Amino acid sequence: MEEGRSFGEDLVAAVKQAVPQEKQADAAEAAIDLNARLNDFDLRQHSRDRLSVRLQASMVQTWEGKGGKRQKNTCKYRYDSEKKEAETWLAEGGGVAFGEAVAQALVTFAGWMNRDLEAFAAKTELRKTDEAPASCFREPRWYRLY
């Protein structure tokens, strides 16, 4: 499954496709540096013959804050594939089922990352939905100040 692929590069390409072109800039011109990476890939067993795949990714935003000090924010994401019979995961050498799970995870991560970038740009916290987790951006709250 990994032959001829770089999952990190595939994730970056998916994020570039998810983020509107007018919001993208060359690294030299960008106010924020963005780094998206696939951190972990686990095969999980749920019952004797039912398995799923869990992938974890992160997005790191780095920018120059007030006084020229570099600031950084990290958002973390987790994707769990649907549970399938072991035979399905192993069919055709496992490449098809695993490839489909990874492809879906990358598209999903890219959408979530774009949603978080929009939340940061608007400075608006977004609630969890059926399709997406709560945004990584958090509005300041009085009880978080202490």
Domain boundaries, the chain: 7-144
Check whether 94 has a pLDDT greater than 70. Answer: no
pTM of the shown model = 0.84
pLDDT (tens digit per residue) in 62-90: 988 888 889 899 999 999 999 988 888 87
Q: Per-residue pLDDT tens for 34-64?
A: 899 999 988 888 877 888 999 999 999 998 8
Contact 93, 69 (CB under 8 A): no
Could you tell me the fold of the domain covering 7-144?
Answer: Double Stranded RNA Binding Domain (3.30.160)
Average pLDDT, the chain: 86
Copy the structure tokens of residue 21: 């072109």
| E-strand stretches of the chain | 32-45, 50-64, 70-80, 84-85
